[in-house]
Amino acid sequence: LLWLSLNVWLFWKTFLLYNQGLQYYYLHQMLGLGLCVSRASASVLNFNCCLVLLPMCRVLLAFLRGSQKVASRKTRRLLDKSKTFHVTCGVTICIFSVLHVAAHLVNALNFSENYNEEFLALNAANYRGEVSQLSNVNYLMSILVPGLTGVIMVLVLFLMCTASTYAIRVSNYDIFWYTHNLFFVFYMLLMLHVSGGVLKYQTNLEEHPPGCFNPNKTLRQNMTVPKAFEEPFPDYTTEPFPEDLPVPEPFVQNNFMGICSEEPKFQSHFPETWFWISGPLCLYCVERLYRYIRSNKPVTITSVLSHPSNVLEVRMMKDNFKARPGQYVILHCPRVSALESHPFTLTMCPTDTKATFGVHLKVVGDWTERFRDLLLLHSNQDTEILPIFQQRRYPKLYVDGPFGSPFEESLNYEVSLCVAGGIGVTPFASVLNTLLDGWKCYKLRRLYFIWVCRDIESFRWFADLLCMLHNKLWQENRPDYINIQLYLSQTDGIQKIIGEKYQALNSRLLIGRPRWKLLFDEIAKCNRRKTIGVFCCGPNKISKILHKLSNSSNSYGTRFEYNKESFS
């Protein structure tokens, strides 16, 4: 709401300034509404080009999330909307860019059609009707610097926007990644774009009030003065009329407010875009440099495990690497791609007793397929029931991070509901591993863990972890600490997770999909007048249902706060 209000205020303030401002009187007379719309849209573009980079400052967001300076949970939850805010700013830039271009096309036409020989310094055209001449196509680039940079920026923005659509991101992530990095070209062109100085304002308002009467000019135009007297022609009427004399009739009829002492003078604006984007752009560049230095040393891959359903587990070690449960890292393997990198949630965090951390990744695209082929001895081997331990000379792998995510808050609620869909279980794996090491130091006192999968094999990814945590809590006489519910959404009959050690999970395996409304009612009934954190990582369909139920009221006074995984 604050962002929307600032955009509206900036647009309206700038619109009124160029519509009613005395310094733009003559320019407005020449260009009309196109001037106001072009400058107002430019203000909104400056504002959003300033903001669009801030949500991508991952280190800054992780610091704010983990620092005590942001003590409010509600404020920290706003940081989880960073990706949504980035997309919103991007869409706004696209919309107002179209408006800005359309307004400047109108301005180009008005410069030509309203050409005025009295204000040569104000004109961008060379003569009346210049834009209509087919031989003067160069006029549309007036000039050259703002026109040419504007055209290239529109093309860059078009590529970035089209490649950001969901269909392209899913089908070919490489296109999205490479075109999105054209933002640097866009910002460089933006700085050049504002240096043209086509639009000018009047600087001598006191000596030449807009719309004033210049008697020297009128007398010289209407009278033939002998050549001998032309030079010493005095300025008799530079002083205002005496108060006791009536103002001449033409002055009254035309509502002139004053008398000119000189011709109007015009000057180009100092570019304001620098003030808007220099700070965020420098901040982003400094952060990228810091991230490059921090991740410049490759990690040591200790082991690679091949799990069922085409899932790999990579365990690594890195000096001075620290992370909190729920955070994610960005992996970069030069042998897979020189520039491309991808985010993965940590499923195992380093602790005081062990330095190993790990990720689980599902092989679903070109990058993960090439990465798997480099990690495993035989990429086309059949999936075994138990994980396969592979030993070989691993490729260099660089880790950038860790970065914050909503799931860091799961341990800060007294009661948390964690819902995972398929491979979306990875954010909760690090939380479960942390609880296995010790749960008494956290605020969390009850955890509802719901995991929905399409096939029985997927549950084996973290079956051992769930069984160890279940047995540990039983030994400590806290069996009610965690409530595990596993749902198999697609099956031909009753199935079980094979293995004697998985008996604890077989009793919690249900066929079908969760009945979310009944589940929420049951949790609310058992936790009256409490605030429950709801965390979801899975398909959008499940996410929308949980979001809607979290915002609905119940008769038990229980409040649900919704959180969703979103890589920024």
Domain identity same for 273 and 335 = no
CA distances (Å), origin 478, targets 138, 418, 467: 79, 19, 14
DSSP string, 96-134: HHHHHHHHHHHHHHHHHHT--GGGTTT-SSSSTTGGG-G
Question: Does the residue 124 lie in any domain?
Answer: yes
Domain identity same for 414 and 551 = yes
Question: Does the residue 444 lie in any domain?
Answer: yes
Q: Do 444 and 416 form a contact (C-beta atoms < 8 A)?
A: yes
Span 199-247, pLDDT tens digits: 777 777 777 777 666 665 544 444 444 444 344 444 444 445 455 444 4
The residue type at 208? H
Domain identity same for 372 and 449 = no
Question: Does the residue 368 lie in any domain?
Answer: yes
Domain identity same for 415 and 552 = yes
Domain identity same for 486 and 548 = yes
CA distances (Å), origin 17, targets 14, 43, 59: 5, 12, 39
Closest to 499 in 3D by CA, of 460, 470, 451: 460
Q: What's the CATH number where 519 sits? A: 3.40.50.80
Q: What's the CATH number where 304 sits? A: 2.40.30.10
Span 303-362, pLDDT tens digits: 888 888 888 889 999 888 888 888 899 999 988 888 788 889 898 888 877 888 999 988
Burial class, 354, CB count within 10 angstroms (exposed 0-12 / middle 13-18 / buried 19+): exposed
Q: Is 0.85 surpassed by the pTM of this model?
A: no
> Which DSSP helix (H) or strand (E) runs through 360?
strand 357-362
The residue type at 363? V
As a whole number of angstroms, the distance between CA 194 and CA 147 comes to: 10
pLDDT of residue 13: 92
Q: Do 367 and 302 form a contact (C-beta atoms < 8 A)?
A: no
Domain identity same for 540 and 417 = yes
CA trace torsion 416, 417, 421, 426 (10° rounding) = 10
Q: For residue 75, is it left (φ>0), alpha (ψ between -120 and 50) or beta?
A: alpha
**388 in helix, strand or coil?**
strand
pLDDT of residue 398: 92
Query: Structural domain tally of the chain?
Result: 3
Domain identity same for 338 and 443 = no
Question: Does the residue 110 lie in any domain?
Answer: yes
Asked if omega into 210 is within 30° of 0 (cis), the reply is: no
Question: Does the residue 171 lie in any domain?
Answer: no
Domain identity same for 7 and 132 = yes
Query: Which residue positions in the chain have pLDDT lower than 70?
Result: 66-73, 75, 112, 114-145, 196-197, 211-258, 261, 377-392, 491-501, 565-568
Instruction: Name, in order, each residue with C-beta under 8 angstroms of 159's C-beta and a sequence gap of 6 or more.
Output: 179, 182
As a whole number of angstroms, the distance between CA 521 and CA 54 comes to: 39
Domain identity same for 140 and 273 = yes
CA distances (Å), origin 384, targets 179, 305, 309, 388: 39, 11, 10, 7
pLDDT of residue 253: 40
Residue whose token pair is 């008769």: 555
Question: Does the residue 170 lie in any domain?
Answer: no
Domain identity same for 349 and 440 = no
Structural domain of 35: 1-144+196-202+269-280
As a whole number of angstroms, the distance between CA 362 and CA 426 comes to: 10
The residue type at 387? P
Domain identity same for 414 and 559 = yes
Question: Does the residue 427 lie in any domain?
Answer: no
As a whole number of angstroms, the distance between CA 39 and CA 42 comes to: 5
Question: Does the residue 8 lie in any domain?
Answer: yes
Domain identity same for 39 and 69 = yes
pLDDT of residue 10: 92
